[in-house]
Amino acid sequence: MVVQSVWRKWCRTIGKSRVRLRKRREIPRQWAAEILETRCLLSVIVVTSLADNLARDGKVTLREAIQAANTNRHVDGSAAGQSGTQDQIVFQPGLTGTIRLNPVLGALTITDSVEIVGLGATRTVIDARHNSRVFDVRPGAGNVTLDQLTVTGGKTIARTQAGGRDPVFCPRAA
């Protein structure tokens, strides 16, 4: 009880006093911007269909994804590739099976640096059905990486041309 009365008296006294607290004086701050190095983020293009076409159907095929990476433009709703970086093409989760290349459209032409990542060597298969090469990687394309997919059924036009004979199996890296 005594403590409460002392506390109340002290609070009343503080409230009536004319003591004013000083305002803190703000220290002026100088703002500066630091210029960082140029950064390039890689472009991720997601394949949403196992078909092989260039139709505007709202589904992104592997051929359309490669075209987006080559041209650095949106193709059929895909993300655009980015110049000066290695674009990454991935498959939508759960999209497993075989991509059977359309013989009329021929090989998948790669002219820019790209990494194609499947969902597993046995779950993502690209098959040219012995009609053409599977990939036609042009000179100056840069780094081309295939990971977690199987490439099969390629065929060259002449016996003197290299490639297209043996299937390529890209298991998951450890």
Tell me the per-residue pLDDT of 130-162, one tens digit each, with 9 for 90 and over: 998 899 999 888 899 999 999 999 887 765 555
> Is the model's pLDDT at 71 over the cut of 90?
yes
Does residue 10 form part of some domain?
no
**pLDDT for residue 2:** 67
Does residue 109 form part of some domain?
yes
Does residue 158 form part of some domain?
yes
Residue 42, exposed/middle/buried by CB under 10 A (0-12, 13-18, 19+)? middle
For the chain, the C-alpha Rg in angstroms (whole number) is 31
Range of the domain at 117: 44-170
Total tally of structural domains belonging to the chain? 1
Does residue 19 form part of some domain?
no
- A 10 A CB-CB count for 63 gives 24
> Is the model's pLDDT at 77 over the cut of 70?
yes
Three-state SS at 65: helix
| Digit-coded pLDDT (tens) for 3-38 | 667 667 766 666 666 656 666 677 666 766 777 666
DSSP state of 171: P
- With beta carbons less than 8 A apart as the criterion, state whether 125 and 101 touch: no
Q: Are strands 97-100 and 135-137 parallel, antiparallel or unpaired?
A: unpaired
Residue 14 in tokens: 């503080």
Does residue 21 form part of some domain?
no
Does residue 7 form part of some domain?
no
Higher pLDDT, 86 or 98: 98
Q: Are strands 97-100 and 124-127 parallel, antiparallel or unpaired?
A: parallel
Nearest residue to 105 (alpha-carbon basis) of 72, 129, 86, 76: 129
pLDDT band at 82 (very low <50, low <70, confident <90, very high): confident
Rounded Cα distance, 134 and 167, in Å:
10
> Is the model's pLDDT at 174 over the cut of 60?
no
Does residue 1 form part of some domain?
no
Place of tokens 């703000």: 26
pTM: 0.70
**pLDDT for residue 164:** 46
Q: Is the dihedral of CA 114, 119, 121, 125 positive or negative?
A: negative
